[in-house]
Structure formats: C-alpha cells, structure tokens
Amino acid sequence: MSALFDGFWALLGLKVLVSLLVILNVALVIIFAELKISAHMQSRVGPYFAGGRYGWAQPIADGIKFIQKEDLVPRDADRPVFKLAPMVVLAGTVAVFVIVPFSPTLVVRNLDLGVFYALAAGSIATVGVLMAGWSSANKYSLMGGLRAAAQLIAYELPLVLAVVGVVIHAGTLSMSGIVEAQAEPFFHLGETAIHLPYLFQGQVIGFGIFFIAMLAELSRTPFDMPIAESELVMGYLTEYSGIRFTMFFLGEYAGMFAMSAIASSLFLGGYYFPGLDSATFGPIVLMAKVGLLVFVMIWFRWTFPRFREDQLQSFAWRWMVPLSLVNIAVTATFKVVF
C-alpha cells in the first residue's frame, strides 16, 4: 500500500480526484448562482425550498433527479459515439484545469506551452458536441452540432489571436509565467510600485475579443445557437437524458469555470492581487476573479437575445479576426518600441 501511495500513479490519482471534486463542486455552485441570479433579474426568487434555506441544495437535488432518470438511447443512434460524446465534453473541459495556476505552487502541471495546451484542450469539448449532434439521429441535434462546429471554427481563431497579445507581453507561453509577469510592477509612481493586470496594460481589446470568443466557445447567450431551445428544441442535447444529460450540463458549467480561470490568469492577473500573499490567498483571489467573469456571463445570458448563425459568422470574420490582428500588431509595436 505505502509503495502505491508513494508512487507517481497514486499522486496522479489523488490529484485527479481532488481536481474533479473541486471542479464539479464549483460547477454546482455556478449552476446555483445562475438559478438564483437569473431569478432575481426577473423579479423571481428561484429555488427556495430545497435544502431548507434559499434552496441551496437545488443543483444537488436536480443531479439526483437526473441520475434516477432512464438513460435513453435513440434506436437509430450511433450508440458508441452517442454514449461517448458526453464523456468527451466533460473530459475535454476538465483537462483544461491541468494548467490553471491557483497559486504559485498549486498547479497540476505547469507546462511550458500552457496557453497552447489550454486552447487545444478547450476545443475538445466542441468535438464532443459535434459527436453528440451527429450520433443522435435527430435533425435538430444534427443542426445543433453543425452550428457548434461552425461556431468553433469561427471563434477559435480570434480566441487564439487575442491571447497572442498577452503572450507577446509576457514573453512566455506558461500560464504561471504569464501570471508572474503580471505580478511584476508595471511602473513606479514615486515610491509605490503600481501593479496592473494585462487588461489594464493595453489589452482591453484583447480581453474583449477573448471574452466574446469565450462566450461563443461555451455556447452562452448571445451565442447559444447550438442549443437555441426556441429553434432547435435543445440542439445537440435533444436526445440526451439522465446521467448523460447531466454530464453535458456539468460540462457546460465546468467549462465556464475553466474558461473564466484562463481568462483571469491571462488578463486579470490570475491568483495575484497587490498586497495579498499569493501563496495563501492565491486560490481565493483567483476564484473571486472567476466569480466576477461568471457573473458577467450569467448577466449577459439573462439580458440579451441570441444572434443568428450567419450573423455570428460575419461578426467573427469581419470584426473579431481583423481586430485581434490589429491588437497583435499594436501590442508588438509597443513591445518593440518600449
């Protein structure tokens, strides 16, 4: 036994278990936040009874309900693909967390190519969505899956290009490196060192593009066309039920967490906050920043209607891509000049 615990595999197992628990619990919290915030934005109260007070146990109760439901697979579905799809989505989302630095030391794996890895792993989920849409043997699912694929292609590019500005600034592709670079004082105002995250170091446009592209990647309103319940019933999720639906559901919210964590690290200084010890308060600082971004995403969702698929495409190619290229050019120029 002890040999096992000392081993590499045991440590890995422990890391995976803890990360999974943390990620899924945070996803539940985000689900609950969405329920409550959306309700109050509509003068409702939302969940109220589950768990005794404020309905805090609602996501858990929902989860238990979903698990009890029958796991239906359509007769004409491509069974292996259909069954695999939710796992791909969840796995792809969870995989992103490998490189998210919660504090200078609390990181699963500080990869040198962290940013590259994160963007690559983040798009695995979309493959899962396409799998779900294709395998369901349902026209609505198929259209939802195709929309998701088109959306991925359109928005992966500005997403990557927006990050390039930050990478140029930091001079590294490592996530921890980028956060550390933001912890360096930007300039000195007399005696005091002024720390600024990249958002305020001229990456406003970069952050804007990244955030919008992130919404599109996550299929959040105003870019939720792959689900678009008023058009495509439930899009690629139409045929899913029970535990597999839950996995998609958790995956969506874990994805929000993951992308927000990346955005926080890249643009908002990650675990670093001036005056707070990163080693101790790092995770809290990061979670606060993630919370802020998640709130904005929820806020957008419950305020805006959705775009049309072709409008989204033209928005991506006509505005986002050129803008992000301009952003790179400007950033690079400044980097060279100063």
Binding site for other proteins (CB under 8 A): 37-45, 48, 139, 143, 221-222, 224-225, 228-233, 299-300, 302-311
Smallest separation (angstroms) from other proteins to the CB of 234: 9
Number of CB atoms found within 10 A of residue 81's CB:
16
Number of CB atoms found within 10 A of residue 293's CB:
21
One-letter identity of residue 100: V
| Beta carbon nearer to other proteins, 46 or 242 | 46
Smallest separation (angstroms) from other proteins to the CB of 319: 11
Alpha helices by DSSP H, the chain = 2-6, 8-41, 58-68, 79-96, 114-122, 124-135, 139-170, 175-183, 204-217, 229-232, 242-267, 278-301, 309-315, 321-337
Distance CA(244)–CA(131), nearest Å, equals 13
Smallest separation (angstroms) from other proteins to the CB of 292: 14
| Beta carbon nearer to other proteins, 97 or 134 | 134
| Beta carbon nearer to other proteins, 280 or 311 | 311
CB 169 within 8 A of CB 179: no
| Beta carbon nearer to other proteins, 45 or 279 | 45
Smallest separation (angstroms) from other proteins to the CB of 204: 14
Smallest separation (angstroms) from other proteins to the CB of 297: 12
Separation in Å, CA 125 to CA 18, 120, 149: 21, 10, 11
Smallest separation (angstroms) from other proteins to the CB of 96: 26
- The C-alpha R_g of the chain, in whole angstroms, comes to 21
| Beta carbon nearer to other proteins, 202 or 208 | 208
| Beta carbon nearer to other proteins, 100 or 227 | 227
